[in-house]
Amino acid sequence: MRATLLYEAGDVRVEDVPDPQIQHPTDAVLRIVRSCICGSDLWPYKSQTYTDTPRHMGHEFLGVIEELGSDVREFTVGDVVVVPFVYSDNTCTYCRDGLQTSCTHGGTWGVNGVDGGQGQYARVPQAQGTMVKLPVDEHSEFLPDLLTLSDVLCTGYHAAHTAGVRKGDTVTVIGDGAVGLSAVLSAKLLGAERIILMGRHRRRTDLGVEFGATDVVAERGEDGVARVRELTGGEGTRTVLECVGLEAALTQSAGVVRDGGTISRVGAPQYPAIPFAFPEFMRNITLTGGVAPARAYIEELMPHILDGTIRPGRVFDRTIALEDVASGYQAMDDRLALKVLIAD
């Protein structure tokens, strides 16, 4: 089959790799119908040093079941399913707590002999726990929206959920990438009344407004903090959703959060330590969030897509074929595309 391999920064290729086979009775094999490129794929795309054992890329995908291991029940060959960006058994104590990212039998796509998601097929480990059946066929117009259940929508939702966003809240969302926009959508879904989106890319923040942002603050750093405080009677907001992953975004979060409030971080950390010491202690700031256990949210969020309440797939502003994946990485890295959908 064809799959996406990263050899070094800027060098991503589609090449022939072995077709996946059932290796364990808990496996399934999917024919991938839709996948996409994640903001987090850009970190290795920008930084990886050359390797002759290239990394298999992609961790967001949905597809059709081609083959099922003997232990996988409740699914049929031909089912359309989505998988979250980590696999998990969905039965261990962590999974039962809704923390499938800490599953004792879980793991990551594209490493340790597991396929990546940007390819034609993938073996799904722990398929029974990992796959979620989609009540649509493989030509459904909802596929881009349903694909966001794999990562980006659930990551935004994790931010809003762990921050404790509730009906009537005022929320600040930091970052106008696809995760930030998904966080806006999620905050709205949880009943937030006022959603301040901090971002400076007009085309993105415009979509944020369509998703539910009531205010857009384009300024960054101290100016941005001052503007949010001005909008909130000087106090800042009770919840802040940090969807960037840079230290400057954490500092900005501390600047705009109300005393006693909560910052939820879902941007993959590109910092060595959290710069919250004495002042944030005196202000009783809580820091929560982390990598999203997407699997925990899929059943909860899917109905909102299927009934048309939310259209999270609108974050995809470019569609490419698998063979053109390199151009997709380039477009996202150049910020010419917000998020790239892969569909053949």
Residues that bind a copy of itself (CB under 8 A): 93-94, 97, 99, 101-102, 162, 235, 259-260, 265, 268-269, 271-278, 280-291, 293
Please answer whether residues 323 and 3 qualify as being in contact, where contact means their C-beta atoms are separated by less than 8 angstroms: no
Q: In the bound complex, what is the minimum distance in angstroms from residue 276's beta carbon to a copy of itself? A: 6
Q: In the bound complex, what is the minimum distance in angstroms from residue 55's beta carbon to a copy of itself? A: 18
d(C-alpha 101, C-alpha 88), whole Å: 7
Residue 191 or 260 with smaller CB distance to a copy of itself: 260
Q: In the bound complex, what is the minimum distance in angstroms from residue 266's beta carbon to a copy of itself? A: 9
Beta bridge partners of 340: 318
Contacts of 257 (CB under 8 A, 6+ apart): 172, 236, 237, 238, 239, 240, 263, 285
Residue 162 or 182 with smaller CB distance to a copy of itself: 162
Q: In the bound complex, what is the minimum distance in angstroms from residue 63's beta carbon to a copy of itself? A: 26
The one-letter amino acid code at 293 reads: P
Residue 163 or 184 with smaller CB distance to a copy of itself: 163
Give Cα separations from 188 to 156, 221, 244, 309 (angstroms): 11, 25, 19, 11
Tokens of 32: 């991938």
Q: In the bound complex, what is the minimum distance in angstroms from residue 71's beta carbon to a copy of itself? A: 25
Tokens of 226: 């001052």
Residue 215 or 235 with smaller CB distance to a copy of itself: 235
Residue 76 or 277 with smaller CB distance to a copy of itself: 277
d(C-alpha 37, C-alpha 325), whole Å: 9
